């Protein structure tokens, strides 16, 4: 109880500080997820003497992310963010659906403030962001009716993520900007494929996904 009170008091104290609030910004982005570690399993049919093999196919999926940033100075900000990605695979006549929840902390660099990059238009911005965090892959069909004893979220594939990307911005006014975010997320310690209900074998490759999203940033 004492720890909870201390944390609550600290948060309230920070948000009651006008100077602190002025350095905060919120962003939300919606777009697409591309890529993902998919198994090499085949669905086989034998019409007559012919063997037809169909490999699992992964479709592009939905991506949503949002975050809170704190500006340390004109060049660097810190951002805490969460994201949600959807994976849909088809293998023969069956489909499989998984989702990936991620949380990360990143450094955001305002590239306009670098001397070698000349961007004179005040309405145009360009940020580089990079950091790390945790991700958890979940598949409802795979977990259905099973008991798990793994650490972390039971039945999920918990892993470490490394993220980096570029975010061009167009400034509408002093408060609101439009974002286009292009990012890559590397998934370390990924044990399951994104279609575990179709193939439960262990994934021996590092996973990676790419996101393209459009959104907005609000500065306090």
Distances, alpha carbon 219 to alpha carbons 71, 121, 201, in Å: 10, 19, 46
Contact 203, 196 (CB under 8 A): no
42-45 and 52-55 strand pairing: antiparallel
Give kind and range of the element (H or E) at residue 197. Answer: none
Confidence (pLDDT) at 22: 79
> 18-219 adopts what CATH topology?
Porin (2.40.160)
User: For residue 189, which phi and psi values (nearest 5 degrees)?
Assistant: 65, 30
User: ∠ at Cα 76 (73, 80), nearest 5°?
Assistant: 115
Confidence (pLDDT) at 21: 74
Give kind and range of the element (H or E) at residue 213. Answer: strand 207-219
Comparing CA positions, the residue from 205, 108, 122, 220 lying closest to residue 171 is: 122
What residues pair up with 158 in beta bridges, in sequence order? 136
Six-digit token pair at 93? 């006549």
Confidence (pLDDT) at 91: 79
Q: How far is Cα 213 from Cα 191, in angstroms, rounded to an integer?
A: 27
Q: pLDDT tens digits, the chain, 220 residues: what are they?
A: 566 666 666 666 666 666 777 789 999 999 999 999 887 766 545 445 444 556 788 899 999 999 999 999 999 999 999 999 999 988 777 788 999 999 999 999 999 888 777 667 788 999 999 999 999 999 998 888 888 888 889 989 999 999 999 999 999 999 999 999 999 999 998 888 888 888 777 777 788 999 999 999 999 8
Confidence (pLDDT) at 104: 97
């Amino acid at each position: 109880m004492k720890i909870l009170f201390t944390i609550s008091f600290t948060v309230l104290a920070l948000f009651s500080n006008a100077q602190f609030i002025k350095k905060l910004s919120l962003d939300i982005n919606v777009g697409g997820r591309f890529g993902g570690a998919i198994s090499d399993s085949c669905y086989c049919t034998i019409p007559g003497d012919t063997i037809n093999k169909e490999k699992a196919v992964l479709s592009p999926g939905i991506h949503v992310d949002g975050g809170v940033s704190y500006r340390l100075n004109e060049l660097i900000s810190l951002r805490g963010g969460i994201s949600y990605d959807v994976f849909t695979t088809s293998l023969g006549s069956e489909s499989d659906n998984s989702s990936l929840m991620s949380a990360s902390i990143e450094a955001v660099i305002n590239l306009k403030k670098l001397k070698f990059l000349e961007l004179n238009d005040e309405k145009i911005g360009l940020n580089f962001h990079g950091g790390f965090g945790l991700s958890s892959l979940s598949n409802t069909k795979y977990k259905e009716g099973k008991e798990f004893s793994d650490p972390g979220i039971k039945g999920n594939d918990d892993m470490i993520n490394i993220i980096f990307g570029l975010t061009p911005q167009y400034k509408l006014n002093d408060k609101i900007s439009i974002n286009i975010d292009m990012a890559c997320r590397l998934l370390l310690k990924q044990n399951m494929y994104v279609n575990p209900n179709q193939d439960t074998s262990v994934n021996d490759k590092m996973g990676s996904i790419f996101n393209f999203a459009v959104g907005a940033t609000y500065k306090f």
